[in-house]
Amino acid sequence: MAAPSLPPRANKPPPPPVPRSTKPNLPKRLPAIKKKRCLLWDWTCTDEKNGVPWAMDNIDFQYVSSVCNWNAWTPPELKDRAPFRPMVRTEGQLEGWEWTAISDTKEPIIHFFNEPERIPIAAEKAADIWTERMVPLQAKGKKVSSPGCASDPGGEAWLDKFMSLTSSHPPDFLNLHYYGPDGDGAIAYLEKLHAKYPGLPVIVSEIACISRDIGQVHAFTKQLVNWMDETDWIFEYAFFGCMPKPADDFVSPQAQLMNEDGSFTALMKKLMTEQPMT
Q: What mean pLDDT is reported for the chain?
A: 93
pLDDT band at 31 (very low <50, low <70, confident <90, very high): confident
CA 176, 62, 69, 247 torsion-angle sign: positive
Question: Which of 14-18, 172-176, 232-236, 274-278 shows the lowest mean pLDDT across its residues?
Answer: 14-18
Amino acid at 206: E
Is residue 100 over pLDDT 50?
A: yes
Look at the chain and report how many structural domains it folds into.
1
Asked if residue 47 belongs to a domain, the reply is yes
For residues 134 and 162, what is the distance between their CA atoms, to the nearest angstrom?
Answer: 14
Is the pLDDT reported for residue 11 higher than 60?
no
pLDDT band at 45 (very low <50, low <70, confident <90, very high): very high
pLDDT value for 150:
98
Between residues 177 and 6, which one has the greater pLDDT? 177
94 band by pLDDT with thresholds 50, 70 and 90: very high
Question: Residue 67 and residue 240: Cα distance in Å, rounded?
Answer: 12
| Residue type at 108 in one-letter notation | P
CATH number at residue 187: 3.20.20.80
Residue 229 lies in a domain: yes
Mean pLDDT of 108-122: 99
Residue 2 covered by a domain: no
The domain in which residue 160 lies consists of 32-273
Q: Is residue 241 in a domain?
A: yes
DSSP string, 16-50: PPPPPP----PPPPPPPP---EEEEB-HHHH-TTT
What is the predicted pLDDT for the residue at 46?
98
- Model pLDDT, residue 33: 93
Within a domain: 6 = no
Provide the phi-psi class of 2: left if phi over 0, else alpha when psi is between -120 and 50, else beta: beta
Would you place residue 177 in the very low, low, confident or very high pLDDT band (cuts 50, 70, 90)?
very high
The DSSP line for the chain is -PPPPPPGGGGSPPPPPPPPP----PPPPPPPP---EEEEB-HHHH-TTT--GGGGGG--GGGEEEEE-SSSSPPGGGTTSS-B--EE-SGGGGSHHHHHHHHT---SEEEE-BSGGGTT--HHHHHHHIIIIIHHHHHTT-EEBPPBB-SSHHHHHHHHHHHHHTTTS--SBEEEEEEES-HHHHHHHHHHHHHHSTTS-EEEEEEEE--S-HHHHHHHHHHHHHHHHH-TTEEEEEES-B-SS-S-SSS-GGG-SB-TTSPBPHHHHHHHH-SS--
Are residues 242 and 46 in contact, defined by beta-carbon separation less than 8 angstroms?
no
Q: Could you tell me how many residues make up the chain?
A: 278
Q: Which residues of 110-136 are buried (b: 16+ CB within 10 A; e: fewer)?
A: bbbbbbbbeeebebeebbebbeebbee
Q: How would residue 8 be classed by pLDDT, with cut points 50, 70 and 90?
A: very low
Q: Which has more pLDDT, 6 or 25?
A: 25
Residue 21 lies in a domain: no
Q: Is residue 139 part of a domain?
A: yes
Is 17 within a domain? no
pLDDT (mean) for 85-92: 99
**pTM across the whole model:** 0.89
Q: What is the rounded average pLDDT of the residues 222-238?
A: 99
Candidates 221, 226, 214; CA nearest to 240 is 221
pLDDT tens-digit map of 159-170 = 999 999 999 999
Identify the pLDDT of residue 205: 99
Rounded CA separation 75/174 (Å) = 25
